[in-house]
Amino acid sequence: MLRNKVSVLIVLVLVLMSVSILAEELVVYSTIFAEYAEAMKREFEKANPGVIVHVINPGGTEAMLKKLEAEKDNPQADVVHSGASLNYEYAKSKGLLEPYFPNVANFEPVISVGENQLRLSDPEGYYHVWSMMFSGFMINKQVLDALGLPVPKSFKDLTNPIYKGQIIAPNPLKSSTAVTVVMTVMQAYGQEEGWKLWDEIDKNIPYYSNSSSKIYSLTAKGEFAIALCLSRPVFVYKMQGYPVDFVYPSDGSMIADNAMGIVKGAKHPELAKKFIDFILSDQMQKEGSKYLYTPVKKGVIDPSEPFSLEAVASTVENLILPDSDFANEVRPIMQEKFGEYIRSK
């Protein structure tokens, strides 16, 4: 009897060992919110039996880039996911990404958005855009009405002292959302006028939040009248019944793309390629639209949806495309300026 029990135990141990050996693991660094991260993990594991996906949020895109740099000689992630393509251009320049050209039906490396041409894939294949949002303002209509304040229509409007203490913004030293908003102003006005403008906007901002998600919740709950932000979370709060709306600024709304890429030196490169293809598939483009992300592939959702490419192209007065060369030029100045802004609060 004892011998039989020992034999069974040995068999079980061997089975468990073989399963662990056969199981493939993929490590994804992503700044995406938890609900979508779980859906991404679940659907990829379902499509690839035996694969285990570990999605790790390092705490914001800037923090994610710093983590990649710190691990450059011994990469711990296979894929880096979410955050603006401007950040991925920076990662590319630092040698943190591995090139790969997706093999996905109906995915185009360049698409039309209104009269603009938007590049979805880096020409050398280092990163790829999987969804889009847009920069602008979240407004709480009840708070504005209670204070007798007009709805701001442009970034220039935000320099008005009547908004002092009523604007919240994320910290660009921590958040890619903030970087996109700042770059919108810089591209719309140029650096000289752009920084003069932000100096005035800064006077109306009591502090910069290290958490992008916090600016939405605080504004939705009436702690602030205005948040400098991206579109998708605003639509989510609006659907939940909060008295909020999104404003596409008349002086410019930048496409805030969400990109992804394969980490240079990834331990599971083939699995990482599969993951990139999967996120760009029709299935996951539709999955992303459930969370109000604008898909990058035409025909995935009804063009009448307010967050579809077609709808946005007809709504935005002044659409700005990200300029990676300009962003790389502005980045060190932005870090210095916002260090000063934050220290002054």
Mean pLDDT of the chain: 91
Mean pLDDT value of segment 275-296: 94
Q: Confidence band (pLDDT; 50, 70, 90) for 2?
A: very low
The upper half-sphere exposure of residue 311, i.e. CA atoms within 13 Å in the direction of its Cβ, equals 16
What is the tens place of the pLDDT at every residue in 165-202? Answer: 999 999 999 888 899 999 999 999 999 999 999 999 99
Contact assessment for residue 237 and residue 216, using Cβ atoms and an 8 Å cutoff: yes
Q: What is the pLDDT of residue 21?
A: 43
Residue the block writes with tokens 């050209």: 101
Give me the pLDDT at residue 112, please.
Answer: 81
Instruction: Reduce the secondary structure of the chain to three states and give it as a string.
Output: CHHHHHHHHHHHHHHHHHHHHHCEEEEEEECCCHHHHHHHHHHHHHHCCCEEEEEECCCCHHHHHHHHHHCCCCCCCCEEECCCHHHHHHHHHCCCEECCCCCCCCCCCEEEECCEEEECECCCCCCEEEEEEEEEEEEEHHHHHHHCCCCCCCCHHHHCHHHCCCEEEECCCCCHHHHHHHHHHHHHHHHHHHHHHHHHHHCCCCCEECCHHHHHHHHHCCCCCEEEEEHHHHHHHHHCCCCEEEECCCCCEEEEEEEEEEECCCCCHHHHHHHHHHHCCHHHHHHHHHCCCEECCCCCCCCCCCCCHHHHHHHCCCEECCCHHHHHHHHHHHHHHHHHHHHHC
Domains of the chain from N-terminus onward: 2-132+258-319 (3.40.190.10), 133-254+321-344 (3.40.190.10)
Identify which of 340, 38, 316, 31 has the alpha carbon closest to the alpha carbon of residue 173: 340
Judged on CB neighbours under 10 Å (0-12, 13-18, 19+), 43 is middle
Which of 163-172, 261-270, 288-297 has the weakest average pLDDT? 288-297
For the stretch 14-62, pLDDT in tens is 333 443 444 699 999 999 989 999 999 999 999 999 999 999 999 888 8
Count other C-beta atoms under 10 Å from residue 176's C-beta. Answer: 27
The pLDDT score that the predictor gives to residue 84 is: 84
pLDDT above 90 (res 311): no
For position 306, what pLDDT does the model report? 77
- Rounded Cα distance between 60 and 30, Å, is 8
